[in-house]
Each structure stands twice: as C-alpha cells, then as structure tokens.
Amino acid sequence: MADATGNVDAKNYGIGVPVEKKAFFLKGLDHYDWGIKDRMSRIFDSRSGNAVMLAFDHGYIMGPTSGLERIDLGILPLVEYADCLMCTRGVLRSCIPPEVNKPISLRVSAGTTVLTELNDECLMDIQDAISLNASAMAAMVSVGGKYEATTIRNLTKLVDLGMKYSIPVLGVTAVGKSLVRDARYLGMASRVCAENGATFVKTYYCEEGFAKVVAACPVPIVIAGGKKIPEDQALQVAYNAINDGASGVDMGRNVFQAGDPIAMIKAVRAVVHDGEKPDKAFQLYNDLKK
C-alpha cells in the first residue's frame, strides 16, 4: 500500500526556473511523437547528429554477394562498430544474435532481383516488424520507374502503419537502369519520399549539387555507398556527403568488401561522427589495416 501520511514534504518545484525547451536533434522531426524520436535516437547519435548504418540486405536482391556469403564470418565482426543494422528478416532471424542489441532498419519491401528490372513490389506484414523490434522499416521507392505507383503506394501504406506504431520509415530511392543518378533526379526522388511521409531517406551521393538534394529534403538523408570503389575514394564520398548535410551513411559493399572491413568501418565512423578529413581517415584505415 502507498503511504498516505508521514511522507517527506515535496518542495523542489523550481519556481521561477523555466522548463528547458529543446528542439529534437534531427531535422524535420520536431513534431513527431515520442516513439518515433526514441527509435530515431537509437539509430542516430545525438552527439554528432549522424549515423553509421551497416547495410547487408543485398542478398534479397543479389543472392550471395561477395562479402556476404557467410553473414557470421563477414558481418558479425563489424556489428559492434555499426550504429544500426540494415537487413532482411530472414538474415536477422537466421544469423544475427539478438544479444548484439543493435537497432534494426528492417528491409520490408520485396519482389525484385537483379535478374529483372524493378518488379511489382510488395510489403511484409508490419506485425513481423513489430515482433522483430524494428527501429525503422525500409522500403524501396522507384520514382520514374515502371512501378512508381506501386512503390509509392507501398511507402504510403508503410507510413500509415509506421505512424500507428511509432516505427520510423526509411524511403530508399531505387534508381532504375535507365535513370541518371544526378542531383535533379535524386533531389526529386528524395523529396517525393519525404512528402509521402518517410521519416528519413536513403539515396545516392552525386558529385554535382548534392547539397541541394539534402537542402530540399525536409527530413534526414543517409547515403548508400554503391558499388565497391577504392577505400580512399569511399571515405571521400562519405566526407563529401556529410559536408553537404547528409546525416550519415547506410553503407554496405564499401565496408564489407573493403580490404579490411573492420578498419574501414572505423575509418567511416571517424568521418561521420568526428568530421575527420578523408586523407586522415584513410591514414587511419591504413594504420588499422591488418
């Protein structure tokens, strides 16, 4: 029973001390509810404002990609250095021990492999994303592609559900084989994701005008790394993207296919969280490389 009498008198009311009003640290999310902010705060570090997400969902579209043949050997050693893991539910359940206790950006759209162009994508049931304690749900959005309407409908449906259960939605801009990854296209695709309610957006970096892509997207952007390039160039891309206003990276092949993946993810962290210049980060990579 709670005591009704004999308790210490309450006296620390802080009369005259105004309650501190703090803006949420991620752009465009001030008016979102507590659950969304809590999950986004697990993915993004509030000190740097950025995130190093490790993407290894490639198998769902590419099969046993180089570096991902054995998730236990190729990915598990990297997990401790990632702020968030981006993967499918299949690999999550089969290969990732729950004890790693990392936020998950769950790939929830499916329907395509590299053997075809983008197909009529579907979404998995949100019940399973909830069961897996996903911190975000990621869906492919193909702006300008044959299945544009399907993928935008998927995003819209996912945002409806995400808002109901306070799970952020990551809009992933898929660039079809016939489209160009320039600022005009990426800016449009990212904005379309944000306008349709994506909590954050994953897109590609482009050398010309990426700052405009970020500026015109009202919610945080993280970049995909794309095909494997030399480590110094990948670090330069990460640096440029952050410098242009991106809130992090969701990198896969340029980490797990690097000469030394652990050294690479540590060097990426130095760029993303500490603002390390690319030449210094590459030096760090070489120093750490086994």
As annotated, the active-site residues are 202
Residue 228 CB, shortest distance to ligand R5P, in Å, is 8
- 155: contact with ligand R5P by CB under 6 A: no
- 123: contact with ligand R5P by CB under 6 A: no
Question: Strands 136-141 and 104-107: what pairing?
Answer: parallel
Complex with ligand R5P: residue 38 or 122, whichever CB lies closer: 122
- 176: contact with ligand R5P by CB under 6 A: no
- 224: contact with ligand R5P by CB under 6 A: yes
Rounded CA-CA distance 201/160 in Å is 16
- 252: contact with ligand R5P by CB under 6 A: yes
The only residue of 40, 52, 55, 271 in contact with ligand R5P, by rule CB under 6 A: 55
The only residue of 111, 225, 248, 261 in contact with ligand R5P, by rule CB under 6 A: 225
Residue 127 CB, shortest distance to ligand R5P, in Å, is 23
- 68: contact with ligand R5P by CB under 6 A: no
Rounded CA-CA distance 229/220 in Å is 25
- Token pair in block for residue 271: 């760029």
Q: Read off φ and ψ for residue 82, nearest 5 degrees.
A: -95, 145
The footprint of ligand R5P on residues 75-104 (CB under 6 A) is: 86
**Do the Cβ atoms of 129 and 159 come closer than 8 Å?**
no
Say how many residues touch ligand R5P, by CB under 6 A.
Answer: 13
Beta strand residue intervals within the chain, DSSP E: 51-55, 84-87, 104-107, 109-110, 122-123, 136-141, 169-173, 200-204, 221-224, 248-251
- 276: contact with ligand R5P by CB under 6 A: no
The only residue of 29, 50, 54, 57 in contact with ligand R5P, by rule CB under 6 A: 57
By three-state DSSP, how is residue 167 classified? coil
Distance from the first to the final alpha carbon of the chain: 62
Binding footprint of ligand R5P on the chain (CB under 6 A): 55, 57-58, 86, 172, 224-226, 250-254
